[in-house]
Amino acid sequence: MIPENVKKILEELPEGVQLVAAAKARMPEEILQAVEAGVKYIGENYVQEAREAFKLVGHQAKWHFIGHLQTNKAKKAVEIFDMIETVDSVRLAREIDKRCSAIDKVMPVLVEINSGREPQKFGILPEEAESFIREIVQFENLKIMGLMTMGPAFGDPEKARPNFIETRKTFEKIKALDIPNVEMKYLSMGMTNSYQIALQEGANIVRIGTKIFGPRESKIL
Ligand SMILES: *Cc1c(COP(=O)(O)O)cnc(C)c1O
């Protein structure tokens, strides 16, 4: 099933759109199957889980961190990840910078936008994105490359559209500012239930789990 699912999604995605296979709660063997079927980017929410899968899959794919990164996990995270999609505080940015500096690495990052303005969700409010980026651009071992947003995970996917539109507008606004050392290239939006809408609204990274691997046993987000 996994290889067929991957091939189908890759065929239907427009040129230039990256598929990140959201792999939380999956077995390393399942992730390897997806990679062998053509997945080039794996999204992980938990550093420890990623380390287990990395032992099997290694550099056959690139690793995107898509969960909430705690600062005390940053050291281990920067060792394996190729991109951190969820930078949401100056404190975290500083820690990633420090840990990357120690291993001589420059980490591509996306800024997580709390487009739903939900107080319980992580991320920077759209109107604060510019000042946030102007603040973290000082960190030389970070490379700001775009924005990421979650949107509602369940229910009518049309409900996510306004969130995607607002994130896209924020993306374009920051891009137009041409801030030195900021390269607004990636807009990561959309999951299994909402990626078609996200694509219509300008996403060029989609993070898909269920449609590749099947339903998760538990609804962990
Ligand atoms: C789980 C998850 C996804 C994928 O969710 P599905 O509904 O299984 O496609 C995408 N992004 C993030 C941040 C996730 O945690």
Whether residue 219 has pLDDT greater than 60: no
Q: Is residue 147 part of a domain?
A: yes
Does residue 2 contact residue 34 with C-beta atoms inside 8 Å? yes
Q: Is the pLDDT of residue 96 over 70?
A: yes
Say yes or no to pLDDT of 153 above 90.
no
Nearest CA to ligand 1 atom 11: 207
Q: Is the CB of 6 under 6 A from ligand 1?
A: no
Q: Domain of residue 72: give its range.
A: 18-190+207-214
Query: What is the percent of the chain with per-residue pLDDT over 70, rounded to a whole number?
Result: 98
Whole-angstrom distance, CA of residue 21 vs CA of residue 19: 6
Domain annotation covers residue 5: no
Residue 85 Cα: closest atom of ligand 1: 13
Cα 89 to chain centroid distance, Å, stands at 15
Burial class (CB in 10 A: 0-12, 13-18, 19+), 181: exposed
Distances, alpha carbon 208 to alpha carbons 36, 140, 188, in Å: 16, 31, 11
91 CA → ligand 1 middle, Å: 25
CATH code for the domain of 183: 3.20.20.10
Helix (H) or strand (E) segment spanning residue 165: helix 161-177
45 lines ligand 1 (CB under 6 A): yes
CA 174 – CA 122 distance, rounded (Å): 20
Residue 201 near residue 189 (C-beta atoms within 8 A): yes
For residue 217, what pLDDT band results from cuts at 50, 70 and 90?
Answer: confident
- The protein residue with its alpha carbon nearest to ligand 1, atom 15, reads 221
**176 pLDDT higher than 60:** yes
- When divided into structural domains, the chain yields a total of 1
pLDDT of residue 49: 97
Total-model pTM: 0.96
For residues 167 and 126, the answer to whether their CB atoms sit within 8 Å is yes
